[in-house]
Amino acid sequence: MSTTPTQNEHMQKSILDAVTTLAQRVDNQDKISIPSGFRGTIEQRPKGELGQFQAIGILRDSPFGPPDVFDVLEKTSKGAFKLFNQIKLHYDRKTGLARLPKPYETKGEQVVFSRYISELNRNDLVRKVKSRKTADGTEELVFMINPSFIKCFEFKRAKALWDSLPSKAP
């Protein structure tokens, strides 16, 4: 049995109405009526089904668009990329901050570390937040990963902090 365009449009509208009703009533735990001629099940997705993930910023979709995090990382040196990964290991998904124990002991190590941090900063990947002493008296370095590249749960707050931090980007 074939359907005429009018019947087809009516069926599509019925489906749209049912979905709209579902969206409006889901919070109220009401029963949802499904138009005649349709059957199906609605199940709540088990929590954790998607696993843990972190959202990234908008990906460049043309050769002329602004660079995304992968474009920028591709241009960094191997040492800066490794340092970015170290910072990422200490990343707080809620705030976007990364707290690292002081990663150098000698002046030479500090020079190399500073060079790579400067490179990440110039490329707008990370910015330095004020360092602090921990409870045991050791120095902790605090950085923020660009919240437009890797989204944290408190994005608006992180973006405001990011915009307030000094940048060495050209």
pLDDT value of residue 125: 95
Task: Give the pLDDT of residue 99.
Answer: 92
Phi, psi for 150 (deg, rounded to 5): -125, 115
Residue 124: name the closest of 168, 75, 77 by CA.
Answer: 168
> Domain limits of the chain?
1-44, 69-164
What is the fold, at CATH topology level, of the domain defined by 69-164?
A: Arc Repressor Mutant, subunit A (1.10.10)
| Radius of gyration, CA atoms only, the chain | 25
**Mean pLDDT per 10-residue section of the chain, whose length is 170 residues:** 63 68 56 66 63 75 86 94 94 92 88 94 93 79 93 92 83
CB atoms within 10 A of CB 76: 18
Helix (H) or strand (E) holding 11: helix 5-25
Q: What is the per-residue pLDDT for 117?
A: 94
pLDDT at 4 (0 to 100): 59
Query: 3-class secondary structure for 17-64?
Result: HHHHHHHHHHHHCCCCCCCCCCCCCCCCCCCCCCCCCCCECCCCCCCC
What would the two tokens of residue 12 be?
């599509």
Q: What are phi and psi of 7, to 5 degrees?
A: -65, -40
| pLDDT value of residue 101 | 86
Give the pLDDT score at 105: 85
pLDDT for the residue 162: 94
Of 66, 63, 84, which is closest to residue 126 (Cα–Cα)?
Answer: 84
Q: Which amino acid, residue 109? A: E
Write the Ramachandran bin of 48: left for phi over 0, alpha for psi from -120 to 50, otherwise beta.
left
d(C-alpha 96, C-alpha 99), whole Å: 10
User: Is-contact 127 148, C-beta < 8 A?
Assistant: no
